[in-house]
Amino acid sequence: RAGAPGTDRVVGIGMDSTELGVDPASFVDAYRTAETAGLRLTAHQGENSPAVDAATAVDVLRVERLDHGFSVLEDPDPTERLAQRRLAFTVCPNANVRINPDRFEHLSDHPVARMREAGLLVTLNTDDPALIDLDLTEEFTRTAEVFEWTWEDLVSLSLDAVDAAWLDDDERRRLRDRVNAGAALAAKTAI
């Protein structure tokens, strides 16, 4: 309800949990209401749903971000289109391995590197840190080790996360400056 305590802290909506057997288009009314209210839009799609469902979330629900979303790699059309659009993907490689070991036996099996190579705007995330005992530092460290990412790759991922953040342009610029300054200081200190 408008004006309820805490509503001033709500910036967006999304759908979570299982994607199996769920047509994302069935949520269109809720997403249009949220969009009309000025909320940002995301959807948990493309983790265990096909590329067509991830594309539906983008095209029908008009989401700005896909949580997981790696199934888009199954189809070059949405992959190319979403790469050009710079639609954000919140990807959780280590969490996917811990939660879905049948799908990803090893972290090296995860498509996060292929997503980046395809030009998708990928951000690293923890998914559910309390459930899987994982923090963002560990996510970055383990993923970087397995995929042999450089310091520059990690800084690039951090800057991509700034681009994906639901911030206004001024806040985004300030955060980008902080990431660049921190990265420069860390690189200088490490020498």
Active site amino acids: 47
Amino acid identity for residue 143 in this structure: T
H or E segment and range at residue 40: strand 40-45
Q: Name the amino acid, one letter, at 173.
A: R
Q: What is 101-112 written as a DSSP string?
A: TTT-SSGGGSTH
130: left (phi over 0), alpha (psi -120 to 50) or beta: alpha
Contact 91, 70 (CB under 8 A): yes
